[in-house]
Structure 1
Amino acid sequence: MIEIRDLHVDYGKVSAVRGVSVTAHPGRVTLVLGANGAGKTTTLRTVAGLNAPTSGEILVDGKSVVGWPAHRILARGVSLVPEGRRVFSSLTVGENLKVGGLIASKKDREESMRRAFEMFPILEERQDGPAGLLSGGEQQMLAFGRSLMSQPSYILMDEPSMGLAPAVVDRVMDSVRAIADRGIGVLMVEQNAEAGMKIADDVVVVNRGESVYSGPVEEARKHSSVVSAFLGEAALTGSDSGVES
């Protein structure tokens, strides 16, 4: 289990996160909602070791990882799928996957590659082609597959639906659910509230760097006024402006 307790993160004199508490369980999707600038991405980056917390606790399976470098947190079983996918466009699909498995043994990399191809057959079909020629949705599948190569217990996902057409968003969210159903805990930041809530188990709402709501997705749906207060009605209906196929 990932436990984030009263997390505070400052950028100089600016408080980006000031009191976020989130719990993510194995085999469950925990959805973090909030307006732009609420501190969601900073929270994920801090859990992944890319930002240093000012105060608070981050525990992975009961072990504090505060102050650990990113590679050590990855080895602990926490992988990050960053916003915007960030695949290596000039490398092949297969090479991108291998990058994700650098910390694993050769045997584990081969097994992880097999599982990634099993979950995302398009990656096997395109494994020898440049990742930059994949569509937006295919690149997101590659980003997921790359994160699985380290055999994580938990995956942090930052805006996986960003820039994707509605039909592609559904496929991406189905993939998120499939990853969790394999026993991996998913902590996901997502602007498309409705798409995220379709596959999430638990919901946390963050406003101005603070956690203001936490509970099962069924309860969150009963409190849609809480969600809409911080995201607006467009998020609940799944706005699809500026899409990419």
Structure 2
Amino acid sequence: MLEIDDLHVSYGKVQAVRGVSMAAHPGRITLVLGANGAGKTTSMNAVAGLLRPDSGSVRLEGVEIAGMAPHRIVRRGVALVPEGRRVFGPLTVAENLRMGAYTAAKAEMAETLARVHEMFPILKDRANSAAGLLSGGEQQMLAFGRALMSQPKVMLLDEPSMGLAPAVVDSILAKAREMADSGIAILMVEQNAEAGLDIADDVVAVARGEVVYTGKASEARNNASVLRAFLGEAALAEPR
């Protein structure tokens, strides 16, 4: 279980995250909603060790990881799939996956790779292709697979549907659901709120660096203020 408690993060004198608290549980997806600039990605980067929090706590299975170096956080079991995928374009698909396993037990690498190939067969088919030549959806699958190679307990997914064709979004988010169902705790930032709510278990809404709503995904769909803020006025006219 990942627990974030009263997290504060600043960029210089600008406080981007003000007392954010949320959690991610094994086998469940916690969806983080909010407008651009709300502090979502900043929170994710602080959890992953890419930013040092001003204060607050980040605990993985009860162990404090806030302020640890990123590679130590990965070894503890937290993997970040960053916004924009950020695969290593000149490297092959196979090389990208091996990069994801650099902190994992080498004796288990073959077994982990087999599981990744089972979940994402296209990555096996394209093993020798340059990652930069893959489609957006394929690159997102590669980013998922690369994170899975570290054998994570928690995955941080930052805008997994960004830049993808609408026809691809559902299949990508279905893979996120599949990863959660395998027992991984997932904390997911997703701008496509409606699609995110379709697969999420829990919801945290953030505005101006603060949590403004916490609840179950099913409850959020029935909450007019949440729908208006994150799905638009049209959502209120449709049965959920």
The alignment's TM-score, normalised by the length of structure 2, stands at 0.95
In structure 2, stretches of 5+ residues that fail to align are none
Aligned to 1:215: 215
Give how far 1:227 is off: 4.1
Q: Report the secondary structure of 1:213's partner residue.
A: strand
User: Could you give the per-residue CA deviations for residues 34-59 of structure 1, whole angstroms, max 9, x where no partner exists?
Assistant: 00000000000000001011111111
Residues in 2 aligned to 1:189 and 1:38: alpha-carbon distance in whole angstroms: 11
Matches within 5 A, 1:32-181: 32-181=32-181
Give how far 1:67 is off: 1.7
Equivalent residue pairs, number: 236
Report the more deviating stretch, 4-13 or 106-115. 106-115
Give yes or no for the alignment of 1:30 onto 2:27: no
Q: Report the secondary structure of 2:49's partner residue.
A: coil
Cα distance change, pair 235–169 in 1 and its aligned pair in 2 (3 A): farther
Q: Report the secondary structure of 2:86's partner residue.
A: coil
Q: Tell me which amino acid in the other structure corresponds to 1:136.
A: G
Give how far 1:225 is off: 2.0
Q: Report the secondary structure of 1:30's partner residue.
A: strand
Q: Tell me which amino acid in the other structure corresponds to 1:114.
A: A
CA contact (8 A) 1:2 1:61 kept: yes
Residues in 2 aligned to 1:128 and 1:139: alpha-carbon distance in whole angstroms: 14
Aligned to 1:233: 232
Q: Report the secondary structure of 2:214's partner residue.
A: strand
Question: Over aligned residues, Cα RMSD in angstroms?
Answer: 1.4
Q: Tell me which amino acid in the other structure corresponds to 2:15.
A: S
Give how far 1:235 is off: 9.8
Q: Report the secondary structure of 2:103's partner residue.
A: coil
Give how far 1:103 is off: 1.1
Give yes or no for the alignment of 1:189 onto 2:169: no
Q: Report the secondary structure of 1:21's partner residue.
A: strand
The alignment's TM-score, normalised by the length of structure 1, stands at 0.94
Q: Report the secondary structure of 1:37's partner residue.
A: coil
Q: Tell me which amino acid in the other structure corresponds to 1:71.
A: H
Q: Report the secondary structure of 1:116's partner residue.
A: helix
Cα distance change, pair 224–111 in 1 and its aligned pair in 2 (3 A): farther
Residues in 2 aligned to 1:235 and 1:107: alpha-carbon distance in whole angstroms: 52
Give how far 1:105 is off: 2.7
Q: Report the secondary structure of 2:97's partner residue.
A: helix
Residues in 2 aligned to 1:199 and 1:97: alpha-carbon distance in whole angstroms: 26
Residues in 1 aligned to 2:84 and 2:174: alpha-carbon distance in whole angstroms: 18
After the TM superposition, list the runs of 4 or more consecutive aligned residues in structure 1 that deviate by more than 4 angstroms.
234-237
Residues in 2 aligned to 1:236 and 1:142: alpha-carbon distance in whole angstroms: 33
Residues in 1 aligned to 2:71 and 2:169: alpha-carbon distance in whole angstroms: 30
Aligned to 1:241: none
In structure 1, stretches of 5+ residues that fail to align are 238-245
Q: Report the secondary structure of 1:124's partner residue.
A: helix
User: Could you give the per-residue CA deviations for residues 181-213 of structure 1, whole angstroms, max 9, x where no partner exists?
Assistant: 000000000000001000000000000000010
Aligned to 2:15: 15
Residues in 2 aligned to 1:133 and 1:167: alpha-carbon distance in whole angstroms: 20
CA contact (8 A) 1:203 1:216 kept: yes
Aligned to 1:4: 4
CA contact (8 A) 1:46 1:53 kept: yes
Residues in 2 aligned to 1:235 and 1:16: alpha-carbon distance in whole angstroms: 30
Q: Report the secondary structure of 2:150's partner residue.
A: coil
